[in-house]
């Protein structure tokens, strides 16, 4: 189940072409087509993944004919993110090895559409551990908002912004 969920991430966020499907401008894939194209995937499995994924990464459309990833894309789709005022502080989990570069350049979105921020340290630590010895940056999101930076929150609670200049980061 976990590996199927990971594979879905790859298809719905980054490379739909590897199974020969396309996403629409809002990131939706057709469920019937996805099931046809992905080996060993049926509707029950898909429904279970959407319901139980630990990060709630996926959503069905209201009629359940379409599915998309809630965030994390590298391909340019508009998942209709909510633009919101962020909390005063957010966290970014990364690896120690990127610290110097981040202190110099700020947080860049790299291959994704946004920089990903977490509202709690625990989540940020888990995100950071994916890259090595975790390192947490504190992001002064309240100040950024006052200065005109836009913030979005995905339906699964990830905070997103386009760039965090180094002056808004605390180690």
Binding region for ligand HQG (CB under 6 A): 9, 55, 57, 72, 94-95, 98, 101-102, 105, 107-108, 110-112, 116, 127, 131, 158
Nearer to ligand HQG, 32 or 70 (CB): 70
In DSSP terms, 160 is beta-bridged to 116, 152
For tokens 């099931």, name the residue.
35
Nearest approach, Cβ of 53 to ligand HQG (angstroms)?
9
Nearest approach, Cβ of 83 to ligand HQG (angstroms)?
18
123 CB-contact burial (10 Å; exposed 0-12 / middle 13-18 / buried 19+): middle
Nearest approach, Cβ of 97 to ligand HQG (angstroms)?
9
- Helix, strand, or coil (residue 37): helix
Any residues with CB less than 8 A from the CB of 93 and at least 6 apart, and which? 118, 123, 124, 125, 126, 127, 128, 129, 134, 135, 136
Nearer to ligand HQG, 62 or 165 (CB): 165
Nearer to ligand HQG, 129 or 143 (CB): 129
């Amino acid at each position: 189940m976990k590996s199927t969920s990971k594979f879905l991430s790859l298809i719905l966020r980054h490379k739909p072409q590897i199974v020969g499907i396309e996403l629409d401008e809002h990131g939706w894939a057709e469920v019937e087509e996805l099931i046809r194209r992905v080996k060993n995937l049926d509707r029950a499995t898909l429904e279970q993944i959407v319901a139980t994924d630990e990060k709630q990464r996926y959503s069905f459309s209201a009629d359940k004919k379409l599915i998309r990833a809630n965030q994390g894309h590298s391909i340019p789709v508009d998942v209709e993110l909510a633009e919101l005022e962020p909390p005063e502080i957010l966290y970014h989990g990364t690896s120690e090895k990127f610290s110097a570069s981040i202190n110099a350049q700020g947080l860049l979105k790299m291959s994704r559409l946004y920089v990903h921020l977490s509202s709690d340290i625990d989540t940020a630590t888990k995100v950071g551990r994916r890259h090595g010895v975790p390192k947490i940056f504190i992001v002064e999101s309240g100040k950024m908002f006052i200065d005109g930076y836009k913030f979005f929150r995905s339906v699964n609670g990830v905070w997103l912004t386009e760039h965090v200049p180094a002056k808004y980061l605390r180690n």
